[in-house]
Amino acid sequence: MNISAKRGIGLIILLGLMSLGVVATAQIPAPPPPAHSPPSENPPPTTPLDAPYRFTAEVDVVNIRATVLDERGRYRDDLRAEDFQVFEDGEAQKVSFFSHDVRVPVSVGILVDASGSMRYKIQHALQTVRETSRALWPQDEMFLVSFNSDVQVRHRFTSDAEKIERPLRDIKAGGETAMYDAISRAIQEMKAARNDKKILLLITDGFDTRSRIPSARVEEMLKRSDVSVYAIGIDDDENDPAVHRRTMYHIYHHAFNRLTAVSGGRAFRMFTGQTAAIQVIAQQLVNELHQQYTLSYYPALRPGGNDWRQVEIKMNRPASQIWYRPGYYVNPAGNQPQ
């Protein structure tokens, strides 16, 4: 019997007694009002899998989201908890919770490089945005940022692909490349996300020439956030005769590797002239983003309120590639770089 049902029956009985002229207060002293229990100092515990990735003073569980591919680059969906080994600062951790989700809603911010080096690549970049926006699910959301010498938010979060595609017609290539400034701006924009899984998709040739914010600071911002960077590098194809009649710009692998590794994302490579690959890459990326393994463990409490904890995952399955965030701050809001 639920509470509302109990209250309804009590009201009927009370009305019946009153109609018979029974006045309880005249015969029996009124009982003292029940003492109110003091409010609990500790709120009810949250489900560990609902907690954020980071370790905080309120949450003592670490959740690691991992993506696992086979040797052909296909997503692996056949793994169990015993296929993973988790280490924190070199010490083995017991996986207390494990899940495999295949319909994870995502919040995606797309950053499009519109600098001069993208002159012959900009149509590839814009078509990649179109294909990605069309592949997203109704529960997903996306915002759009373009950057060259300046950073411009073209559209804030929306689930309408047409609203993302509409401003693409106004994006022209020219100017320098403020890539790190764009990432910093996108991290701030991502604070309005409604989904737990947050992805920045960077479409560029990867060489920054203009940013006021240094790369090290952006990497630190990513380490303190719950945002992962995926990068699509559009490269000049040296086998294309047309490429040799103009200045070639190759993607900057070092920048891609640093940004994706520190945030748990990964990089894709696309060549100019291979337009058929755009839809394939966009669909593969979106499918991958909607799936994840989650491994949760209780870390050992150690002195220090802001220290960095290094996380490593080893696979017991051969021919597996895994991507995950390589660590976390105990207090991600503390002592941030200026």
Amino acid found at 182? A
The pLDDT assigned to 36 comes to 42
Q: Do the Cβ atoms of 12 and 26 come closer than 8 Å?
A: no
Q: How many domains does the chain contain in total?
A: 2
Residue 177 lies in a domain: yes
Residue 284 lies in a domain: yes
Residues 176 and 279 placed together within one structural domain of the fold: yes
**pLDDT (tens digit per residue) in 279-324:** 889 999 999 999 999 999 999 877 666 689 999 999 999 889 999 9
> What is the C-alpha separation between 296 and 298, in angstroms, rounded?
7
**pLDDT (tens digit per residue) in 11-53:** 333 333 333 333 333 333 444 444 444 443 444 333 344 444 4
Residue 201 lies in a domain: yes
- DSSP string for 259-288: HHHHHT--EEEEETT-THHHHHHHHHHHHH
pTM (predicted TM-score): 0.79
Residue 18 lies in a domain: no
**pLDDT (tens digit per residue) in 222-280:** 999 999 999 999 887 666 656 544 564 556 788 889 999 999 999 998 887 777 789 88
**pLDDT (tens digit per residue) in 172-213:** 999 999 999 999 999 999 999 999 999 999 999 878 999 999
Residues 259 and 112 placed together within one structural domain of the fold: yes
Structural domain of residue 313, as residue ranges?
51-102+292-329
Q: Do the Cβ atoms of 299 and 57 come closer than 8 Å?
A: no
Residues 179 and 283 placed together within one structural domain of the fold: yes
- Average of per-residue pLDDT values in the chain: 82
Residues 92 and 229 placed together within one structural domain of the fold: no
Residue 297 lies in a domain: yes
Q: What angle (nearest 5°) sits at the alpha carbon of residue 168, between those of residues 184 and 291?
A: 60
Smallest CA-to-CA distance from 108 within 140, 70, 149, 60 is with 140
Q: What is the CATH number of the domain that holds 176?
A: 3.40.50.410
Residue 25 lies in a domain: no
Residue 256 lies in a domain: yes
Residues 282 and 172 placed together within one structural domain of the fold: yes
Residues 144 and 243 placed together within one structural domain of the fold: yes
